Every structure is written in structure tokens, then in C-alpha cells.
């Protein structure tokens, strides 16, 4: 089996803007450790990102400052935004290294409101699930009910989220049915001493000042989350690495001093669950590499908590694969019939909603397509056959090839108005989309060149092949301002991305 490394961040940012350098938060290699390997996935869960009730529509259409900052940092390092989902101030960002994008299957998001009895999204959870190299993964970011005495409400929040999050993939329609589940967030569980022997916040702070390094067992005996996990009332299915960091709440903003208006508590947590023996002769596992808080960040009354895990996935696992033929000719803007081919493995079932996105060669998010065409509209009948092709002969040929277990090659013809207006280098990405909620990345083309017709006129031979030079791999600083998302894109394909609350 292969190993995938996941890096998790959970942080309640208390409606503040990112005012500190975030590279340390992401544990990037430093000048002292330049060869440190980067994770395969970054999963960032934020709570209390600034969200005003009167600005909910604007929040859904424009990228917040935190997301923009993380995009700016991570996409420079070769990461792609696989999925993001927002519920008011609760945000979950899932980044994957470019090499893994084409292995993402059945990506889906969900959300649950628990504020005001389920009417308001200031509390609740968002989640993203997907399959990667034959294993199912579910990622949950939640912000549960606050205050020491509302433990029962937090327990109810958990059980509501578990029952409410339902996915379209039958085998994993519930959070707990996935091979790997990681639950992060401001869970808001507090330290809870017996009434007859309950220390004040000042006394707890004084005790913490005397604690030997990493030894918090005395105070952790009164942690509400550990208690309900043991009693089975909530999160009993999950595990947590040993806590060797001080309580992460509540601090005076701008300092490392506890705010004694609240008892210091470990509100910010990262939990995990693994179904170890779901596959014959294979044992899945999640190994904790690190689990810490980062006290140097002082812009919020919470400290961020980070964790790294190595998980096991299947080696050389490939299902439902689409391969694009290399494109050696220049696509001239305005060409009436730009053609290329792609080959589908026999296990690919073509859906009416399958589509091909046109992306910048150095794209940074799966939502950043420039244009798209449905497969059924660009398949050429009779060329090699396809379920979506126009013409009975082509469809019959494709069905026969699939029935015989043979790959199928589609000829694709992109018409005038396919959306490319600027010369440069681009890619095709094939998306399988059985419904509006689930999508899979089945194939990505190599970069190809698009040029203007004015450039075409200077060529002696209009059919001359494109230069063999490759597009620059240098990434421009395009994420300084990540605003201005195309509303049509959001509504056309990702109307159910659950970003509007």
C-alpha cells in the first residue's frame, strides 16, 4: 500500500483578518530544513470567519481574506483547491497536490445548521467527502454550541450532524461509513470540575503555570469531550492523539495571556476514525505524526491547532480513467471545428451531465474553469463511437466496445464560442457528474497552445504544428486578490456547493 500525508489546521479566527505570516501555520520547509517533504493534502477548517447577516450573498460570491491568503501560499507550492465549502463563518478548504487531482473520485459536500435550533448557520458543520486511490475519506469542520453549561446542546449538535449529513454514494452515505473520517473544529467542549470542587479561572491559570512540559493529565481529567467520548454520548467512534499542548481558549487578543473571563479549555480539536478491516487481506491505518497548538499566533482569542497524519491507500489504484491525446497543433481563437480525442477505460459510464472544462494550464482550483462543454455536445458521431455521440451508429459502436471490455476513443469537436478569448496555454479536464452534487476528475490533458488569428497570418503554412516549447511553470501572483468569482460558474455547475447561507 501507499502512504498519503494529510495536514490539518483548525482555527477559530474570531472574525479577525489574517495579520500574521501563515507559513509557520502550514509547516513549510525552512532554510534549516529545505528537504522536508510537503503533505499530499492540506485540510483547513476555520470558524468565525467574518460574516455579516446583511452580507450573506456577498460572502457567498466573493472570496474571504483567509481563503485568499491560503490560496496565495499553497497554490504557489503546486497545490490545487479540490473543494471548498462555506456556511456563514464556517469554512472548509481542501487542497491536494496536482499529481493527485486526477485520482479524485465522487467529490461531494454537505452542511448542517445547528444555531437557533437549526435555523441559523452561525453554529453547525460543513463536510467534504471523496474517494482517493480506492479509499473513502470524509472531512468535517464544525463549530458547536458554546458555554460551559450547554454540554447537552453540544452532544445534540454532534448527533444532529451525524444524522443530517447524507451523501449520494450508497456505500458511504453516512459520515461514519467512510474508511477514514477526520473531524476538526471548535468543538467548544470545556473543562468541567465537580461543583463542590470547581476552581476559578485564575486558579486554573495558576495551575497551568506550574505544569511540567506537556503534562496536562490532571486538568484533562475534567475535559468534557474526553468524558462524552468515554460515556458514548458523542464522538465515541473517534480517537484523538495525546494532548501535549496547553488549553487553546480563551486568550486576550494580541497576547499569550489567558482571559480569565472564561476557564481555559481545549475547545479546538482534531479527531479521527478508521475502519481498519473493511478490505480483505488489507489493514487500513492512520498514524499520527504530530498534534500541536501554535501559541505564537495571537490575532484571535483561540490558538490554532494542527496535526499531521499518514494514511494507507492502495498502490497503483486506477479506476474510471480518461486519457486525452496529446494536442500538437495550435488552436486558433475562433476556429469553427477544433478537434482532439480522448480514450475512456471500459469502466467509465458516461452520464448525460459529463462535461469537459477548459482551464488555464496553470490552474489553481477545480472551480476555475474558463469555459465548459457537455460531452454529448462535442462528441463526433461515427468517429470512434460514444454513448453521447450524435448518431445511432456511433452509440452502438461505443456500447459494443464497452460491453467487450475495450477502451473507447471519442473524437471531440469544440465549436466557435467555446470561451477561449486570450492566447496562451490551456488544458482540458474531464468531469464525470452523475448528478449536480457529485463529481469526479477522470482525466487532465497536457497543456496545449491557443493563438490568435493575427498570429496565424504570419505562418507560411497554416497547418504548421505548434512550437514544442512548454508553458512557463512560474506561477504569477494571481492570488493577491482572489475576488470576483464568476457568478455564472457558481450557479451553472456548483449551485449546491452550499456556500450560501
Q: How far is CA 473 from the centre of its chain?
A: 23
- Distance between CA atoms of residues 94 and 231, nearest Å: 32
Q: What is the pLDDT of residue 435?
A: 92
Q: What confidence tier does 394 reach under pLDDT thresholds 50, 70, 90?
A: very low
- Residue with cell string 477561449: 420
CA 7 – CA 27 distance, rounded (Å): 9
Q: Return the ∠ at Cα 218 (arms to 215 and 224), rounded to 5°.
A: 110
What would the grid cell of residue 48 be?
468565525
* pLDDT above 90: residue 449: yes
Per-residue confidence band for 337, with pLDDT thresholds at 50, 70 and 90: confident
Looking at residue 5, what is its pLDDT?
A: 98
Q: Are strands 438-444 and 408-414 parallel, antiparallel or unpaired?
A: unpaired
Record the cell numbers describing residue 469, joined without a space: 516549447
Q: How confident is residue 83, by pLDDT bands cut at 50, 70 and 90?
A: very high
pLDDT at 312 over 90: yes
Q: How far apart are CA 50 and CA 13, in angstroms?
A: 9
- Tell me: pLDDT of 279 over 90: yes
**Residue written as cell 449538535?**
157
- Alpha carbons 307 and 317: distance in angstroms, whole number: 26
Cell 493577491 -> residue: 480
Instruction: Work out the average pLDDT over 465-486.
Output: 35
* Digit-coded pLDDT (tens) for 340-351: 999 999 999 999
Taking only the tens place, the pLDDT of each residue in 461-472 is 444 443 333 333
Q: Nearest CA to 11 among 277, 261, 307?
A: 307
pLDDT score for 484: 34
pLDDT at 51: 76
Residue 353's contacts (CB-CB under 8 Å, 6 or more residues apart) are: 374, 433, 434, 435, 436
> How far is it, in rounded angstroms, from Cα 445 to Cα 456?
23
Helix (H, G, I), strand (E, B) or coil at 424: strand
**What is the pLDDT at residue 141?**
98
Residue 56: band (very low, low, confident or very high) from pLDDT cuts 50, 70, 90: low
Amino acid at each position: 500500500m501507499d502512504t498519503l500525508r494529510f495536514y490539518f489546521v483548525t482555527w477559530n479566527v474570531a472574525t479577525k483578518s489574517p495579520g500574521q505570516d501563515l507559513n509557520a501555520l502550514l509547516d513549510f520547509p525552512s532554510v534549516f530544513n529545505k528537504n522536508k517533504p510537503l503533505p499530499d493534502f492540506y485540510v483547513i477548517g476555520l470558524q468565525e470567519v467574518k460574516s455579516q447577516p446583511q452580507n450573506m450573498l456577498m460572502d457567498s460570491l466573493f472570496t474571504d481574506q483567509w481563503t485568499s491568503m491560503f490560496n496565495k501560499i499553497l497554490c504557489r507550492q503546486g497545490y490545487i483547491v479540490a473543494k471548498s465549502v462555506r456556511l456563514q463563518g464556517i469554512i472548509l478548504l481542501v487542497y491536494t497536490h496536482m499529481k493527485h487531482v486526477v485520482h479524485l473520485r465522487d467529490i461531494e459536500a454537505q452542511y448542517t445548521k445547528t444555531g437557533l435550533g437549526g435555523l441559523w448557520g452561525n453554529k453547525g458543520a460543513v463536510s467534504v467527502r471523496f474517494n482517493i486511490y480506492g479509499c473513502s475519506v470524509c472531512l468535517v469542520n464544525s463549530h458547536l454550541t458554546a458555554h460551559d453549561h450547554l454540554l447537552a446542546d453540544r452532544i445534540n449538535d454532534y448527533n444532529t450532524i451525524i444524522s443530517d449529513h447524507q451523501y449520494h454514494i450508497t456505500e458511504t452515505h453516512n459520515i461514519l461509513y467512510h474508511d477514514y473520517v477526520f473531524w476538526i473544529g471548535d468543538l467548544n467542549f470545556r473543562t468541567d470540575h465537580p461543583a463542590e470542587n470547581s476552581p476559578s479561572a485564575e486558579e486554573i491559570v495558576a495551575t497551568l503555570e506550574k505544569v511540567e512540559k506537556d503534562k496536562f493529565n490532571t486538568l484533562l481529567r475534567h475535559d468534557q469531550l474526553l468524558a462524552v467520548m468515554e460515556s458514548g454520548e458523542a464522538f465515541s467512534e473517534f480517537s484523538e492523539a495525546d494532548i501535549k499542548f496547553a488549553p487553546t481558549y480563551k486568550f486576550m487578543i494580541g497576547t499569550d495571556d489567558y482571559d480569565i473571563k472564561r476557564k481555559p479549555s481545549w475547545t479546538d480539536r482534531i479527531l479521527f476514525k478508521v475502519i481498519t478491516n473493511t478490505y480483505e487481506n488489507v489493514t487500513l491505518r492512520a498514524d499520527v505524526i504530530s498534534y500541536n497548538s501554535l501559541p505564537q499566533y495571537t490575532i484571535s482569542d483561540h490558538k490554532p491547532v494542527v496535526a499531521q497524519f499518514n494514511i494507507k491507500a492502495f498502490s497503483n489504484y486506477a479506476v474510471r480513467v480518461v486519457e486525452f491525446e496529446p494536442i500538437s497543433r495550435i488552436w486558433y481563437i475562433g476556429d469553427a471545428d477544433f478537434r482532439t480525442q480522448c480514450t475512456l477505460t471500459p469502466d467509465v459510464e458516461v452520464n448525460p451531465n459529463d462535461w469537459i472544462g477548459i482551464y488555464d494550464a496553470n490552474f489553481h482550483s477545480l472551480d476555475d474553469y474558463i469555459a465548459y462543454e457537455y460531452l454529448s455536445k462535442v462528441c463526433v458521431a461515427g468517429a470512434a463511437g460514444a454513448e453521447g455521440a450524435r448518431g445511432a451508429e456511433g452509440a452502438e459502436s461505443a456500447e459494443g466496445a464497452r460491453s467487450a471490455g475495450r477502451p473507447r476513443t471519442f473524437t471531440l469537436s469544440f465549436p466557435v464560442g467555446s470561451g477561449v478569448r486570450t492566447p496562451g496555454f490551456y488544458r482540458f479536464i474531464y468531469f464525470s457528474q452523475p448528478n449536480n452534487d457529485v463529481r469526479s476528475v477522470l482525466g487532465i490533458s497536457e497543456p496545449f497552445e491557443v493563438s490568435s488569428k493575427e498570429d496565424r497570418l504570419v505562418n507560411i503554412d497554416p497547418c504548421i504544428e505548434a512550437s514544442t516549447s512548454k508553458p512557463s511553470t512560474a506561477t504569477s501572483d494571481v492570488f493577491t486578490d482572489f475576488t470576483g468569482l464568476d457568478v455564472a460558474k457558481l450557479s451553472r455547475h456548483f449551485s449546491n456547493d452550499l456556500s450560501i447561507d
